[in-house]
Amino acid sequence: MPPEHNAGAEHMLVSMLRPLAARGHDVTVWLSRYGKVVDPYEYRGIRVVPLEARLDFPTAVRQADVLVSHLECVPSTASLARGYGKPLVVICHNTHRPTFRDAAAGGTALAVYNSRWMEREAELFFAEYPKSIRPEASLVVRPPVFADEYATKPGKAVTLINCNEAKGGKVVQALARRMPEQQFLAVKGAYGEQILPDLPNVEVVEHVNGEDMREKVYARTRVLLMPSSYESWGRAGVEALASGIPVIAHPTPGLCESLGEAGVFVDRSDVDGYEAVLRKLLTPAEYRLASKRARARSAELDPTAELASWCDAVEALP
């Protein structure tokens, strides 16, 4: 996504829009948050219209064939879609109640879930709603990670991406204190209060744009930590797998599904467990085995087939 909007959800959305543009469709992203850019520009084949451009979004809706929306933009986009009689696609990034509620407000032609477990949660939620207002169809598209865009030679550091408490900021702080001989990277996140250890073996890295993650983060990472309290999928973990980087994670449903047999799962409250697993994983023999599993899982998650199904589903909308 453009530099001023690089959260995982936006990155997933752009990864799904790129293949539509590659098929020859005219794809335009209208930003809904203020940033520094004023004029429209192109990003990976997609036209991007900043909010500061102050262009006429309703006119664009009237001329569009399909509307795609996510997160807080769904209610207003859905209203315009209903008003102009346009099919609406809702991208669901999490299992929080507002996500499903907005998708079940009527008029959603296609709901897209980022995991199988989210699809099951949605089915349970929608059972409470009349069939007439539920999404007409649904599809699972796991956050697309093109492995060749991330694959690199792993580095030496143990890394946490986004150091707020929910992502595991306290865990990496405790581990860095316990393992003074080990280098750690603490990558600042785009949201949440960051817990940044002031320790000689911890290097704090400023927030990194998606297109720079390979060189600035994964090329310096030996093991990725994901002790998150909640992840609907866990894109960063899948990006790391492309380089054979093992991931130690809290067993959220999303991380269990995304990492599969490549994941090393430890409860986020068990710092002793994280330390023991990390020390073992950093030995050459254990690392080779874990790295092999990581690359195998990365190959399993090739997004080509799912993205083709996604494009077909959008093109089939009336």
Q: What is the pLDDT of residues 1-20, one digit of tens each?
A: 333 343 567 778 889 999 99
Statement to judge: residues 117 and 184 lie in one domain = no
Average pLDDT over every residue of 106-134: 94
Statement to judge: residues 137 and 166 lie in one domain = no
**Is 2 inside any structural domain?**
no
Question: What's at 264, amino acid-wise?
Answer: V
Statement to judge: residues 31 and 91 lie in one domain = yes
Q: How far is CA 14 from CA 11, 169, 175, 192, 212, in A?
A: 5, 28, 35, 23, 16
**Is 79 inside any structural domain?**
yes
Statement to judge: residues 119 and 188 lie in one domain = no
Q: What is the pLDDT of residues 77-119, one digit of tens each?
A: 999 999 999 999 999 999 999 999 999 988 999 999 999 999 9
**Is 281 inside any structural domain?**
yes
Q: What is the pLDDT of residues 192-216, one digit of tens each?
A: 999 999 999 999 999 998 889 999 9
Per the model's pLDDT, the better-predicted residue between 192 and 33 turns out to be 192
| Element at 303 (helix H, strand E) | none
Domain that holds residue 162: 147-300
Statement to judge: residues 81 and 46 lie in one domain = yes
Statement to judge: residues 76 and 136 lie in one domain = yes
Statement to judge: residues 37 and 69 lie in one domain = yes
**Is 3 inside any structural domain?**
no
| Element at 29 (helix H, strand E) | strand 28-30
Strand order from edge to edge, sheet including 28-30: 28-30, 46-49, 41-43
Statement to judge: residues 155 and 174 lie in one domain = yes
Predicted local distance difference test score (pLDDT) of residue 2? 37
**Is 1 inside any structural domain?**
no
Backbone angles phi, psi at 205, to 5 degrees: -110, 130
Distance, CA of 118 to CA of 135 (rounded, Å)? 15
71: domain CATH number? 3.40.50
Q: Are 77 and 87 in contact (CB under 8 A)?
A: no
**Is 174 inside any structural domain?**
yes
Going by C-alpha positions, the residue among 107, 109, 88, 100 that lies closest to residue 128 is 100
220: domain CATH number? 3.40.50.2000
**Is 133 inside any structural domain?**
yes
Statement to judge: residues 171 and 227 lie in one domain = yes
Statement to judge: residues 282 and 309 lie in one domain = no
Statement to judge: residues 95 and 166 lie in one domain = no
Statement to judge: residues 85 and 203 lie in one domain = no
Per the structure, the count of domains in the chain is 2
**Is 139 inside any structural domain?**
yes
Q: What is the pLDDT of residues 265-304, one digit of tens each?
A: 999 999 999 999 999 999 999 999 999 999 999 999 999 9
